[in-house]
Amino acid sequence: MYILKNILLETGYSKENEQVKATETKSFHLKISDGHIAEIINFENELPIDEKTIDGKGQLVLPSFKERHVHLDKTYMGEPWRACVPAYSVIERSEIEKNILSSMDAGTEERAKNLLDVLLSHGSTSIRTHVDIYPEVGLANLKGVQNVLTDYQHKVDSEIVAFAQHGLLHGNTVQLMREAVRNGAGLVGAVDPATVDLNIESSLVQLIDIAVEGNAGIDLHLHDPGHLGTFTMKRLAALTMEAGLQGKVAVSHAFGLGDVTPAEARDVAERLKEAGVSVISSVPIGRNIPPIPLLDEVGVNVALGNDNIYDSWWPTGNGDILERLGRLIEINRWTDELSLSQSLRFITNGVTPLTLNGEQVWPVQGDLANFVLVDAKCSAEAVARRAKRTAVFHKGALVAGELS
């Protein structure tokens, strides 16, 4: 038990001519007990002398971040520098990756730990990681990542997607995916049923069957453009409803939504909303990304992830999900105070300190003490300026950064 003293919380918006002018903040203290926020204490109150205190130094407290798309098993993090080898298709890229990873000195566990430390330093205390499952490695990647996440379970919440990167219908991958679910993977995923598996219907049906059999969720990587991509999404939505998997399915990338007309995108978005299918974007540069404002308006759950971080697919990436959110606000020109502050929900699973109307909804007494201290005066500033994360807490424990 301890008291985190002298911190800022957002308490409302000031308005001018009915428009949000600024985010209002006030100083508080937080009492932390058993991993939860036990009490929010007025700044003027005298603190008990027998309680341990940590000085927040007047910094802003925000909900910790959720990284919804990363590949712990693929990263080169900690390895000597190497750039990507050119490739001309997903299949060719996968083969190159397979050969490189098998030749590395550092194993999956060491590289995954290195990347987890980076993610934590940027404020992410919840991650969804995809782990490649294919005949040559079997469940080795899964076991390695599970070992690491067990070691880090006091620092981070996690989900594992058993991921058929090399094709779901390739070799004995379907059976391996079933084994992965039986061995602890909570979700299953495949990639581009049309262009990798060459059979949209069979690939989606197999994926659905594995999920239903194992009571698992689904996260489908879908790079296919235009109407090929949107057709695949419509079939996935229909099969999701038939299988009763509403709320347990996501599409990562969903580039096709960015290639079609707004009317067509809205039609697909409404089907995704009805089926409870989420969309996860890494906000890449150089592709037509899904129209996130439209998806949000329709009610589709949208989240962000870094995806590839220094690996065979991409040589850049710093693991900072706030930086990805920064890309999103630039693309959509969300420059006003309200838009900036509310955009935080895309990296916190919908949690923001204030509602659109300025009602304070986070934190409240009893919440898990998962939060990050940032060098900013409000969330709008933190988002716009990619504010420095000074300290990261998970269930009340300091897991990254430092405070004296």
Residue type (1 letter), 359: E
Are the C-beta atoms of residues 62 and 25 closer than 8 Å to each other? no
Q: For the beta carbon of residue 345, count every other beta carbon within 10 angstroms.
A: 17
- Answer yes or no: are the C-beta atoms of 184 and 146 closer than 8 Å: yes
Which tokens hold the place of 334? 């969300």
pLDDT for 175: 98
Tens digits of per-residue pLDDT, 190-203?
Answer: 999 999 999 999 99
**pLDDT band at residue 232, thresholds of 50, 70 and 90?**
very high
Residue 132 near residue 108 (C-beta atoms within 8 A): no
pLDDT at 358: 95
The pLDDT of residue 4: 97
- Vertex 308, ends 399 and 218: CA angle to 5°? 85
Give the range among 4-8, 95-99, 328-332, 335-339 with minimum mean pLDDT: 95-99
Q: How many CB atoms lie within 10 A of CB 175?
A: 11
- List, for residues 121-179, the tens digit of each pLDDT value: 999 999 999 999 999 999 999 999 999 999 999 999 999 999 999 999 999 999 999 99
- How far is the C-alpha of 252 from the C-alpha of 222, rounded, in Å? 6
Are 261 and 302 in contact, with CB atoms under 8 Å apart?
Answer: no
* Residue 219: closest CA among 274, 168, 151, 294: 168
pLDDT digits (tens, 9 = 90+) for 207-231: 999 999 999 999 999 999 999 999 9
For the record, the structure tokens of 218 come out as: 């689904």
What pLDDT is attached to residue 104? Answer: 86
Share above pLDDT 70 across residues of the chain, in percent, rounded to a whole number: 100
Reply yes or no on whether the pLDDT at 109 is more than 80: yes
Contact 340, 380 (CB under 8 A): yes
pLDDT band at 105 (very low <50, low <70, confident <90, very high): confident
Q: What does the pLDDT look like over 1-39, one tens digit per residue?
A: 999 999 999 999 999 988 999 999 999 999 999 999 999
State both tokens at 181.
């679910």
pLDDT at residue 404 is higher than 80: no
Q: What is the pLDDT of residues 369-382, one digit of tens each?
A: 999 999 999 999 99
DSSP symbols for 54-111: EEEEEEEEEEPEEEEEE-TTT--TTSPP--PPP-SSHHHHHHHHHHHHHT-SS-HHHH
Closest residue by Cα to residue 188 from 145, 153, 224, 221: 221
Contact 361, 345 (CB under 8 A): no
**3 state SS of 5:** strand
DSSP secondary structure, 8-28, as one string: EEEEEEEEETTEEEEEEEEEE
Degrees, nearest 5: CA angle 84-88-91 = 90
CA distance 191 to 201: 13
